[in-house]
Amino acid sequence: MKRDLYETLGVGKTADEKELKGAFRKLAMKYHPDKNPGDAEAEKTFKDISHAYETLKDPQKRAAYDRYGHAAFENGGMGGGGGGFGGAGAGGFSDIFEDIFGEMMGGGRQRRSSGGRERGADLRYNMEISLEEAYSGKTAQIRVPTSITCDVCSGSGAKPGTKPQTCGTCQGSGRVRAAQGFFSIERTCPTCHGRGQTITDPCGKCHGQGRVTEERSLSVNIPAGIEDGTRIRLSGEGEAGLRGGPAGDLYIFLSVKPHEFYQRDGADLYCSVPISMTTAALGGKFDVATLDGTKSRVSVPEGTQAGKQFRLKGKGMPVLRSSQIGDLYIQIQIETPQKLTKRQRELLREFEELSSKDNNPESAGFFSRMKDFFDIE
């Protein structure tokens, strides 16, 4: 059983970036292997807190963790040697350690890479759909600007026929060690910027990057019943890795546009329908258009009160990946007539004179009950 990441750092689920950083810094100072030489327990704790911090400081990873827990990082995302979600394996922690302490030590931050291969960045794509589209589901074609592996040099960054050379400064490791106070800090090699290799003859197309930017067309399946705020992950559809590293993931952040007539609550829909005072009193019928493209008749009985709710079974939203369908609730509002003519006013006065307590039991008894309750004159 893996420990909860928030618990590991000793912060609440709502901790902001500053709190996370502060908590990590405190724990890292205590458990850093350089301060606890030979202590395997401290090293394990240090890796755990590093992993927790690395995950939670990244808004995308944090969102994935909040939604799916540790399972978010167990399938797919770990592919390739470049890291991916989960990250802090052996050696992986020096990166975030630098991230936190880099400013304190007066150094900058460099992304860690091994052997020059680096995992591509995750990409975010915001998509907005209508409630009707969420109802029926759709296949959306999207165009994603992304970098892909350069076809001329096959991602090596070196001109075809030449090869990248092993960096002389770091002997290919991409990292150099330097003493900083009581810490011994591993830093990104300044010569090769962590690649471990230098390219003397860069590829003409990608200028040594090993990747080029292109727009790709992707088809995304939006299932029926999808909810506002859903994230869809397309594994490996993110940015290409650097110099042959694995690609990142593409996240589709889905939002459902507010609807003119319907409010949604999970699989149920709500629609507020204003009817006239006379319809409410005498009874009547009206039709509502529903998302399945048909209409449903609602019968209002005589003496319907404001706030009365009618349920149309199976006229709500489909439930994701099931055959269930929610309901549609019609909520009645009663509109009081305005701009009366002389004749209408006369008729209503006459109606009022003919009214008895039985016509309005609620309002007729209300004030006397209130008086009694508060014992006032």
User: Does position 199 bind Zn ion by CB under 5 A?
Assistant: no
Among 185, 189, 275, 330, binds Zn ion (CB under 5 A): 189
User: Does position 111 bind Zn ion by CB under 5 A?
Assistant: no
Going by DSSP bridges, is the β-strand pair 123-129/250-256 parallel, antiparallel, or unpaired?
Answer: parallel
Among 205, 231, 259, 308, binds Zn ion (CB under 5 A): 205
Report whether 257 contacts 134 (CB < 8 A): no
> Cα separations (Å) of 308 from 115, 260, 299, 329?
69, 21, 12, 10
Q: Looking at beta carbons only, is 143 or 207 nearer to Zn ion?
A: 207
User: Does position 152 bind Zn ion by CB under 5 A?
Assistant: yes
Q: Looking at beta carbons only, is 82 or 244 nearer to Zn ion?
A: 244
Q: Please state, in angstroms and rounded to a whole number, the distance separating the CA atoms of residues 188 and 171.
A: 12
**Number of residues near Zn ion (by CB under 5 A):** 12
User: Does position 192 bind Zn ion by CB under 5 A?
Assistant: yes
User: Does position 153 bind Zn ion by CB under 5 A?
Assistant: yes
Report whether 208 contacts 199 (CB < 8 A): yes
Nearest CA among 308, 297, 360, 362 for reference residue 334: 308
185: Cβ contacts below 8 Å, ≥ 6 apart:
94, 97, 98, 101, 105, 107, 177, 178, 179
Is 153 flagged in the annotation as binding? yes
Q: Looking at beta carbons only, is 134 or 153 nearer to Zn ion?
A: 153
Q: How far is the CB of 99 from Zn ion (least distance, A)?
A: 20
**Residues within window 79-108 making contact with Zn ion, judged by CB under 5 A:** none
Q: Looking at beta carbons only, is 20 or 192 nearer to Zn ion?
A: 192
Q: How far is the CB of 65 from Zn ion (least distance, A)?
A: 34
User: Does position 191 bind Zn ion by CB under 5 A?
Assistant: yes
Sign of CA dihedral 345, 351, 352, 353: positive
Is 271 flagged in the annotation as binding? no
Residue 247: how many other CB atoms lie within 10 Å: 25
- Percentages helix, strand, coil for the chain, rounded to the nearest 5? 25, 25, 45
Which parts are annotated binding residues?
Answer: 150, 153, 167, 170, 189, 192, 203, 206
Chain contacts with Zn ion (rule: CB under 5 A): 150, 152-153, 167, 169-170, 189, 191-192, 203, 205-206
